[in-house]
Structure 1
Amino acid sequence: MTVLVARPVPTRRTAGQRYALVATAHTRLMMLMLLFAAAVLLVIMRLGMLAITSGAEATTRIATLASRGDIVDRNGAPLARTIDSWTISVHPKKLIGDPMDIAARLAALMPEGGDQAHYYDLLTRKVNFAYLQRRASPALVEQVNAIGEPAIVFARETQRLYPQSTLAAHALGFLSTDGHGMSGMERVLDQQLLDPTQAGKPVALSLDVRVQAALESELGRAMGTFSARGAGGIVLDVHTGEVIAMVSLPTFNPNRVGMAGSEELRNITTQSVFELGSTFKPITMATAMDTGVVTSMARRFDATHPLKVGGYT
């Protein structure tokens, strides 16, 4: 038996019902947009916190470099100091002005960094960042800033200054670009000079700049007299063994260590090998006294004439 059921007739919504549905949909859409905006705001806040944290860490690192202790001689004369300076950089992708014109002006202001072609290459590279000058003076920063290029930026950093120039260069050594000692006492005392608990306390060496200058002058004169390629000398305190002066020639300027060659950077007194020569005579005499060959310091040996022993003179 087949039962026929009539299709239900759809109920037509009234205008009020349609308005209620539209209002509900609008409310839901607004809530969804608010949730999305809140999520975006949280992401932005998180990025901001990360940026602040990174900035604080960077500031801490800069402060550490800035607190590197000074080095002085035995009488307090300054040998190495840390001063404020600037870094000049550029964002090539954000360059607005004519790169050729800017390169020419940079080459005129900073010729030691390269010629116009060099700076043009830096300005036209497909990179976000490039250094133009590290440890620049305030005067140079002012001149470069006068170019008026927004893509050229400036940041403070620290600079190690050696006020005595080339004096005691090998004994002092120099720093790497990240502010750590690479040679000499700068390397030996690296941790001590960077110790924040020692900030403001200069480290005194046994060197005496007056003796150092005199020894460098005499060795330089001797090099000229004998047309020597190098010279080295050390002055010691016979009572304590302290090094009063240490000279190696040719020398270099630690303020411009990048311009020094391998021969200038090599410390002859500590990195070269020489025959003992007359310095071995005290050892020979001490051995003779210890073995009983020499029993009295009153005896004298004539060393003014050559001696022939076994066919050898």
Structure 2
Amino acid sequence: MGFLKLLVRNNKALMGLIIVGFFILTSALAPLITQYDSKKRTGRPHMAPDAEHVLGTTRMGRDVFAQTLYGGRLSLAVGFGAGIIVVAMAVAVGITAGYFGGLIDEILSSLMNIMLVIPQLPLLMVLAAFIGQASPMVIALIIGLTSWAWGARVVRSQTLAVREKEFVVAAQVLGEPSWRIIVIEILPNLISIIGASFIGSVIYAIMTQATLEFLGLGDPTAVTWGTQLYNMQNTSAINIGAWWEVFSPIVVIACVGAGLALLNFAVDEIANPQLRSHVGLKRWKQITAEKEAEALQEQQGKVQGAAS
């Protein structure tokens, strides 16, 4: 609860929550915001933005604004779904390796190192190409199952430090079962690390999905921000001057990425004592400067009073 209070009070976190929450809300309420179906023809091909189609239409005459709203549903679902898978695997592997140590740690650490050595994007491209027109949910599963190693290494290193604390040693001496020590004593001390890993994984998943679908490795019938870019490329929207078809998905992906990045910076700022002390030092300097200014004004007032 203390971490959540600090997160809400952080300006970066608040701004990030507003940005990400806005796009989640607009995607969820897409049927109430737009009257058009994202998969049906609603106008002439490549109509410029006007009062009827605020973001214009595609080569197939589909409303770009409707596609952006409905596309956010799948794109955000892939991002958060993959993030959950990544964090679940990273926490399970990292805590197990860090707490039990010995042979278990050696085996799991070797598995982490193998996953870290393999370049992720080429691996994702090969898997997506092997599956053939992978659906958004399959892409989320592929990203989640291949992107957990870095987070697991961070969780393992933090678990190694926490397990040496007095409260963990005391619980072991009292004969507490391992699962209870992990869940009650160790896991709460890793919340900030897990939060940062989850947000970073969501950013990576959204960008990776858009990349794979832009390259034609996704399902072209699904409406996502990535397939919008894929269709834009196939219809040569840039060459014919249909900038609105390119503008919408790129800006939305950039805004969501920026919002999540702000959240990630805020979590890192709260979790890192050095960054917290840096912020506190700034505040201390500001308060000191204000007090010095007040003292100077009071001294000048006394001098003026004595002179009069």
TM-score, reference length from structure 1 = 0.24
Higher RCO structure (Cα 8 Å, ≥6 apart): 2
Rg: which structure is higher?
A: 1
Choose between structure 1 and 2: higher helix proportion: 2
Choose between structure 1 and 2: higher strand proportion: 1
TM-score, reference length from structure 2 = 0.24
